[in-house]
Structure 1
Amino acid sequence: MRSIYHLYDRILGVITNAAAAIAGLAILLTAFMICYEIIARSIFHHPTVWVMEISTYCLVLAGFFGMAYTMRKNGHICVDFLYGRFPRKVQKGLDIITSILSLFVMYVCMTESTNYMLMSKAMGVVSPSLLRVPLWIPQTFMVIGFVLLFLEIINHLLGDFFADGKEEK
């Protein structure tokens, strides 16, 4: 069973790292788009109609795709002023309870964002701008981000049971 966990951890790690790389590229692309907009607006006096909307979608992608990587690196905010004072067994129990509650929350987020995205696609909802981007496309970023975070929470929970003495991955 431990070997299945380690295989799951490695495969998910590759996927999560790829999502994090895409998130980083989206932030870089956003920076370039905003610089382009500044130059087009201030030097050439021709503002764009697409930079604000597309850069917003890139930032949405970056935020949702980066959540799983942050979970993998134990980078999410935690309040640990009491947690650190508990014995290791109590900490492990609290970690398990927190992971189970987080799985429930992520399950709700996954299903609701999927329903929302599928509804937008079925109804042909588009952005209220000149670009008229089908909104199911940026909404898919939410779904993917929640699914990856859900899988990373499962990985974290399994790690509490199968980790070979490692404190961090």
Structure 2
Amino acid sequence: MRIFLDGLYRLSGGLAASFLAAIGLSIAAQVVGRQLGYTVDATGFAGFCLAASTFLGLGYSMRHGAHVRVTLVIDSLPPRPKRFLEAWVCLCSFVILSWLTWKAAIFTWQGYVFDEVSPGLMAIPLWIPQTGMVIGLAVLTVAVLDDLIGVLMKREVSYRSAHAS
């Protein structure tokens, strides 16, 4: 199971990086097009890639300790209250992220059912870029659940062990 989850986080991080590369390619296409006298409107595409990259990178960055955390209080606690507080935070985060993922999935599904498209020259069905948001939220939810289980099993959480190395 550990191999599968780590692979899922790496895949999500790799997809986030590929969407960042797509933003760079769209900017390059706009620059080259402008030099050749063509108008290439890739602003909407770049925005969709940015959203996908942001959400798909959440789970990977959490597992590698890259999220901003304020540890002033928790670092001053003894081990048992520290573990309780980390379990509480992971549980609350899991509940909120589960709800958010569910609502985002419903929102994306409704965009698909009602055939919503983006405004502008490139009329892209909105469910396509929104799917990246839903997948990214789902991977982050799994990562938080992974850490919650780790805390309950008295293992070091990923975001702490990532800073130790």
State the TM-score, normalized to the length of structure 1: 0.88
Q: Which residue of 1 aligns with 2:36?
A: 44
Match among 71, 74, 78 for residue 83 of structure 1: 74
Give CA-to-partner distance per residue, 1:63-106, whole Å, 9 cap, x none. Answer: 11100001111221111112211112211111100001001110
**How far, CA to CA, are the matches of 2:30 and 2:109 in structure 1?**
33
**How far, CA to CA, are the matches of 1:107 and 1:31 in structure 2?**
32
**How far, CA to CA, are the matches of 1:161 and 1:83 in structure 2?**
17
State the identity as a percent: 21
Q: Which residue of 1 aligns with 2:161?
A: 168
Which segment is superposed worse, 76-85 or 119-128?
76-85
**How far, CA to CA, are the matches of 2:29 and 2:127 in structure 1?**
27
Match among 35, 41, 44 for residue 53 of structure 1: 44
Instruction: Let me know the Cα RMSD of the aligned residues.
Output: 1.6
Q: Which residue of 1 aligns with 2:19?
A: 26
Q: Which residue of 2 aligns with 1:139?
A: 130
**How far, CA to CA, are the matches of 1:76 and 1:164 in structure 2?**
20
Amino acid paired to 2:49: C
Contact between 2:150 and 2:156, CA under 8 Å: does it hold in 1?
no
Q: Which residue of 2 aligns with 1:110?
A: 101
**How far, CA to CA, are the matches of 1:86 and 1:164 in structure 2?**
17
**How far, CA to CA, are the matches of 2:84 and 2:154 in structure 1?**
15
Give CA-to-partner distance per residue, 1:25-75, whole Å, 9 cap, x none. Answer: 11112112112212222x2232212x1111111111111110000111122
Q: 1:163 to 1:73 in 2, by over 3 A?
A: farther
Tell me, which stretches of 5 or more residues in structure 1 are unaligned?
1-6
Q: 1:57 to 1:105 in 2, by over 3 A?
A: same
Structure 2 residue 111 is matched with structure 1 residue 148: no
Displaced runs of 4 or more, over 2 A: 161-167
Shift of the alpha carbon at 1:142? Answer: 1.1
Tell me, which stretches of 5 or more residues in structure 2 are unaligned?
none
Number of residue pairs matched by the alignment: 160
